[in-house]
Amino acid sequence: MAQIKVNDLQKAFGDFVAVKGSTFTVEDGEFFVMLGPSGCGKTTTLRMIAGLELPTGGAIQLGGEDVTLKRAAQRDIAFVFQLFALYPHMNVRENIGFPLKCQNMPKAEIRRRVEEAARILRITDLLSCSVSGLSSGDRQRVALGRAIVRKPMAFMMDEPLGALDAEFRELMCNELRALHDRLQATTVYVTHDQLEAMAMADKIAVMNHGVIEQLGTPQEIYDRPATMFVADFIGSPPMNFLNFTQALKRGDRTTRLDGISVDVPEIHEDMSERAFTLGVRPEAVRIVSEGGLRGQVFGSEYLGTNQIVIVNTDHGRVKARIGSEQRVPDGGTVGLAFRPEKLSIFDKQSGRAVR
Ligand code: ATP
């Protein structure tokens, strides 16, 4: 297996720049997820790493070797697509073994490797079955089997679970992660689904409009979003944004919002009267009867162990995730209190976190 180093990678299709200079490293054995909305450049990045698309700028190293201009066949990377086309006239065993047959590997070795892959994926009893009668989950396992028999240096996976229904998706998500823990294979995985990314990734690159907005562990990205885009894209419901105009001084630990004192993370630079956005996750909001930022309850959504309460304030709408036992009257006036260590502050104009 191998480390992947991507340096200032770019891809233009005519005048349109799909990837605008990405730099990141996927460590040996890491499960690296590229996350972002449709059209942000995830697939194009993955295809460049795999050698299916030539970059228009930058460089790619695989296991210390510069592969930027090498063809896909010279890269020892396995690619798993969403709708993996299995060969309908071959059974499961033949489908899995096909890449090895193409390499003219001895039959006994093919047999050993196919059976090993089938054991790992728990499809040994399906080996002599035709692929046409398989469930979508089993088809996906066969597709994975075909990727892992080759023992490549790295795996590229492009929304491999995208075609599955929700229930299977969750199951396969767990299986994929377990498979990764077992094989410790360097993996780059593309998805637009934040829950899938959070559940599986060692590290996430959040992309938007061809740019990596943030690179980090799932927890870093959730707790300390670098931009308002990341804060809004991750989390369900996403982070609340409250607008205010305020002068902040270096060392400040509190600011005033609508006459209410709000503890903020320590400010590291002087900022004169500017528009800021305070970001707070729904679970870091408490609803209090006295004090706090006042607002009117707009409605609530019961979720069993907790509830989402929606409160309109002069600074914006806030969703609070609180225990379902707390009674909050519809239409009533309440106060909102925030856990200071969970607050983010963004420059409203640039959308970047100022701490
Ligand atoms: P999706 O999940 O929808 O595939 P993505 O983040 O993977 O989204 P890409 O497939 O990488 O996005 O596409 C990024 C942008 O580049 C899109 O606007 C797409 O239309 C454009 N694009 C991709 N391939 C080509 C191509 N061969 N020619 C022209 N434009 C392209």
- pLDDT by position in tens, the chain (length 355): 589 999 999 999 999 999 999 999 999 999 999 999 999 999 999 999 999 999 999 999 999 999 999 998 889 898 887 656 788 899 999 999 998 999 899 999 999 999 999 998 889 999 999 998 888 778 888 988 988 898 888 999 998 887 777 777 887 788 888 888 888 889 999 999 999 999 999 999 999 999 999 999 999 999 999 999 999 999 989 999 998 877 777 887 777 766 666 666 677 777 767 778 889 999 999 999 988 889 999 999 999 999 999 999 988 999 999 999 999 989 999 999 988 778 888 888 899 997 6
Q: Please report the pLDDT score of residue 173 as a whole number.
A: 84
> What is the 69 CA–ligand 1 centroid distance (Å)?
21
CA-nearest residue for atom 28, ligand 1, is: 13
> What is the 305 CA–ligand 1 centroid distance (Å)?
40
Q: Please report the pLDDT score of residue 251 as a whole number.
A: 80
Which amino acids bring their CB within 6 angstroms of ligand 1?
13, 16, 18, 36, 38-44, 192
- The atom of ligand 1 lying closest to the CA of 34 is 6
- The atom of ligand 1 lying closest to the CA of 45 is 11
Q: Please report the pLDDT score of residue 176 as a whole number.
A: 85
Q: Please report the pLDDT score of residue 259 as a whole number.
A: 61
- The atom of ligand 1 lying closest to the CA of 37 is 6
CA-nearest residue for atom 31, ligand 1, is: 13
> What is the 256 CA–ligand 1 centroid distance (Å)?
44
- The atom of ligand 1 lying closest to the CA of 19 is 14
CA-nearest residue for atom 27, ligand 1, is: 13
Ligand 1 probe mutation, 13, 54, 158, 229, most atoms within 8 A of CB = 13
CB 331 within 8 A of CB 273: no
- The atom of ligand 1 lying closest to the CA of 11 is 16
Q: Please report the pLDDT score of residue 261 as a whole number.
A: 67
> What is the 42 CA–ligand 1 centroid distance (Å)?
8
SS (H, E, C) the chain: CCCEEEEEEEEEECCEEEEEEEEEEECCCCEEEEECCCCCCHHHHHHHHHCCCCCCEEEEEECCEECCCCCHHHCCEEEECCCCCCCCCCEHHHHHHHHHHHCCCCHHHHHHHHHHHHHHHCCHHHCCCEHHHCCHHHHHHHHHHHHHCCCCCEEEEECCCCCCCHHHHHHHHHHHHHHHHHHCCEEEEEECCHHHHHHHCCEEEEEECCEEEEEECHHHHHHCCCEHHHHHHCCCCCCEEEEEEEEECCCCCEEEECCEEEECCCCCCCEEEEEEEEEECHHHEEEECCCCEEEEEEEEEECCCEEEEEEEECCEEEEEEEECCCCCCCCCEEEEEECHHHEEEEECCCCEECC
Asked if this assembly's ipTM is beyond 0.85, the reply is yes
Phi, psi (deg, nearest 5) at residue 189: -125, 125
Q: Please report the pLDDT score of residue 123 as a whole number.
A: 92
Q: Please report the pLDDT score of residue 95 as a whole number.
A: 94
Q: Could you give the domains of the chain?
A: 4-232 (3.40.50.300), 237-347 (2.40.50.140)
- The atom of ligand 1 lying closest to the CA of 43 is 7
Q: Please report the pLDDT score of residue 128 as a whole number.
A: 95
> What is the 348 CA–ligand 1 centroid distance (Å)?
29
